[in-house]
Chain A
Amino acid sequence: MVPFFAYVTVFLLIPALVVVIGAFVSGGRPTLGNIRALGQPAVTSALWHSVVLSAVTAVVGAVLGAVLAYAVSTASPRGVLKRFLTSLCGVLAQFGGVTLAFAFLATFGATGFLTRALATVGVQSGGGLWLYEWDKGLMLVYLYFQVPLMLIVFLPAVEGLRPQWREATETLGGSTALYWRRVGGPILLPSFIGALLLLFTNAFSAYATAAALVSQGSPLLPLQIGGTFTSEVILGRENVGKAMALAMVVVVALVMTAYAVLDRRASRWLVR
């Protein structure tokens, strides 16, 4: 008991306090200056980029992942296809950072195989520079871990759909479209939105992939925070980093709370 609480205090609660208190302190005195510094254009645009990137990849990833999850759920439950896809996605969902950046550079970079393949059929993709832009390349790269994560999170919900419900619909004369609109859809909706929120926080908190891929500028909030470490620290600047960190925690905490509420609603149909 004691080691656990001592450990959590030192390595989790103290860091949390450092961030929260540091956000309101500058040069040893309480101030709102760090919070006000969040209004700087560099920070607001980074926050905006982060939110847009996370939202777009969450929505697209959730839709694609849901379709994939449904397709997988129709396969035989102990079959090789399903085992393989869930293991593959289990790894890819956690597969961020350096390797992911390498993989996309080797595919879409200036000498990547797809870039060259496209060039031979006459499609020029601008030397692969688009890959480094947050609203083009990064979105595609983020989808590479968002779609697998959606499969992992959403598959149990899709598998919770009982065949009896579909048969009941058919017995009462309902079509496939009617089944999805009036039975399957409403049952899956809370799980879907919950998974979408999880994907949002996943993309929002990601640092490693963007750091390994983007070498110039800091278009995203995590990169801005990382920048306060690596750049020459101007006095008081590291506490602006804490204010940015606090802003991130606030966003993530809000989304996770919404997730917890939805998850409670969703699991009504999933008790097995």
Chain B
Amino acid sequence: MAGPVSGQRAVMRRRQNAFRWAVVTVALLFFGAPLFGMLEFTTRDASGHRTAATWSQLADLGTISQRYPDLSAGLVASLWLAVLTVVMMLVLLVPTMTWVRLRLPGLSRTVEFLCLLPLTVPAIVLVVGLTPVYAWVTYLLNGSAVWLCFAYVVLVLPYAYRALDAGLRAIDVRTLSEAARSLGAGWGTVMARVILPNLRTAVLSAAFLTVALTLGEFTIANLFSRTNLQVAMYLLGKSDAQISVAVGLAALLFAIAILFAMSFVGGQRDTVSPLSRLRRHRQEPT
């Protein structure tokens, strides 16, 4: 871009800038209106004046758990679900995907297919199929909401697989593990102290996707009548809408802030579509 810009090019650049700002402004108005609607709704009192009562109530966690036990129970259940789902997802996927890479490359197609299969199964269909399975879960464990984590692991499988697959592709798993093994490390050490630290970014992004999906899940929890955060918000929305809307807005803004902050950390996120990534992976010479 050195040197003077020619007249024609400058006109084009100006036109592009004007176009960009017009489109972005319209988009932000569309995206912003419902968010503003939520804010406006939660700062309204019975007589139509502005008040911050709902938000100060929300900041006071003690009263929340007293006045809205279901909401705090739902929040606690959702947090447990997030933790359990992340742990189970990592325990299931990381060793399997590493092992497939090292020893059983013939199985990589099968694992990939199984992991991407949930993309074609809508959550509502999964509910239908999981009903008998969850009858057993309730029988063997109990009817607590935290056992929804089994279903959530299936839901996040494609997204987690993609993130971890990208991470594994970026490191030389074979050399790393052989080096560790020749220095006397067992497989447990290789996993915990060599593979996982090298996959830090991938594990982080898989975990973030998992947490986001878990905290926002409604379909499965609602149809299995278990109270997680979203179901609690839905039920509370019928009696005390303001606090419920405030919780929703807070969660949403929190998620946007986290994602925005994450875009400054770490490298540029690879946003190529999952299938093209997978295909490119296959073309790699081995």
Residues B120 and A155 in contact, CB atoms below 8 Å apart? no
CA of A207 to CA of B31 in the docked complex: distance in angstroms? Answer: 21
Residues A107 and B256 in contact, CB atoms below 8 Å apart? no
The residue that B276 contacts in the complex, of A222, A241, A252, A266, with Cβ under 8 A, is A266
Residues A106 and B37 in contact, CB atoms below 8 Å apart? yes
The residue that B219 contacts in the complex, of A103, A207, A253, A267, with Cβ under 8 A, is A207
- Contacts A16-B129, A74-B20, A226-B223 given; does A263 touch B273 at CB 8 Å: yes
Tell whether A52 is near chain B: CB-to-CB under 8 Å.
Answer: no
Interface residues of A, dominant DSSP: helix
Chain B residues contacting A207 (CB-CB under 8 Å) are 122-124, 219
Chain A residues contacting B128 (CB-CB under 8 Å) are 15, 18-19, 22, 225, 241-242, 245
Q: Which residues of B from 131 to 187 have beta carbons under 8 Å from A?
A: 131-133, 150-151, 153-154, 157
Residues A98 and B234 in contact, CB atoms below 8 Å apart? yes
Q: How far is the CB of A97 from chain B (nearest CB, A)?
A: 4
Closest residue on chain B to residue A115 by CB atoms: B37
CA of A12 to CA of B40 in the docked complex: distance in angstroms? Answer: 43
Q: Which residues of A from 158 to 207 have beta carbons under 8 Å from B?
A: 176, 194, 201, 204-207
Tell whether B255 is near chain A: CB-to-CB under 8 Å.
Answer: yes
Q: How far is the CB of B103 from chain A (nearest CB, A)?
A: 9
Residues A208 and B218 in contact, CB atoms below 8 Å apart? yes
The residue that A212 contacts in the complex, of B16, B31, B234, B279, with Cβ under 8 A, is B234
Q: How far is the CB of A30 from chain B (nearest CB, A)?
A: 18
Tell whether A81 is near chain B: CB-to-CB under 8 Å.
Answer: yes
Residues B122 and A71 in contact, CB atoms below 8 Å apart? no
Residues B216 and A95 in contact, CB atoms below 8 Å apart? yes
Tell whether B35 is near chain A: CB-to-CB under 8 Å.
Answer: yes
Residues A98 and B237 in contact, CB atoms below 8 Å apart? yes
Q: Which residues of A from 243 to 272 have beta carbons under 8 Å from B?
A: 245, 248-249, 252-253, 256, 259-260, 263-264, 266-267, 270-271
Chain A residues contacting B96 (CB-CB under 8 Å) are 1, 3-4
Residues B99 and A106 in contact, CB atoms below 8 Å apart? no
Closest residue on chain A to residue B283 by CB atoms: A271
CA of A270 to CA of B84 in the docked complex: distance in angstroms? Answer: 37
A62-93 to B contact mask, C-beta < 8 Å, 1/0: 00000110011011000001011111101110
Q: How far is the CB of B200 from chain A (nearest CB, A)?
A: 20
A-B contact count (CB 8 A): 236
Tell whether B41 is near chain A: CB-to-CB under 8 Å.
Answer: yes
Q: Which residues of A from 15 to 32 have beta carbons under 8 Å from B?
A: 15-19, 22
Q: Which residues of B from 260 to 286 have beta carbons under 8 Å from A?
A: 260, 262-264, 271-273, 275-276, 279-280
Selecting from B54-62, B63-71, B75-83, B246-254, the interface stretch reads B246-254
CA of A207 to CA of B218 in the docked complex: distance in angstroms? Answer: 9
Chain B residues contacting A241 (CB-CB under 8 Å) are 128
Tell whether B87 is near chain A: CB-to-CB under 8 Å.
Answer: no
Closest residue on chain B to residue A215 by CB atoms: B238
Chain A residues contacting B241 (CB-CB under 8 Å) are 102
CA of A12 to CA of B93 in the docked complex: distance in angstroms? Answer: 15
The residue that B237 contacts in the complex, of A92, A102, A245, with Cβ under 8 A, is A102
- Contacts A4-B93, A19-B129, A71-B20 given; does A97 touch B271 at CB 8 Å: no
Residues A264 and B244 in contact, CB atoms below 8 Å apart? no
- Contacts A87-B263, A96-B216, A264-B275 given; does A107 touch B127 at CB 8 Å: no
Residues A12 and B154 in contact, CB atoms below 8 Å apart? yes
Closest residue on chain A to residue B276 by CB atoms: A267
- Contacts A7-B153, A11-B150, A156-B271 given; does A205 touch B123 at CB 8 Å: yes
Residues A91 and B219 in contact, CB atoms below 8 Å apart? no
The residue that A263 contacts in the complex, of B219, B248, B276, with Cβ under 8 A, is B276
Tell whether A121 is near chain B: CB-to-CB under 8 Å.
Answer: no
A-B contacts, 12 of them at CB < 8 A, read A1-B100, A11-B133, A11-B154, A15-B130, A17-B129, A68-B23, A96-B216, A98-B233, A103-B35, A144-B30, A205-B125, A225-B127
Can you list the 3 inter-chain pairs with the closest CB atoms, starting with the nearest? A15-B129, A107-B37, A205-B122
Known: A1-B96, A225-B128, A271-B280. 15 other contacts (CB 8 A): A18-B131, A19-B128, A71-B23, A74-B19, A83-B264, A91-B255, A113-B37, A113-B40, A148-B31, A155-B271, A156-B271, A225-B127, A230-B223, A263-B273, A264-B279
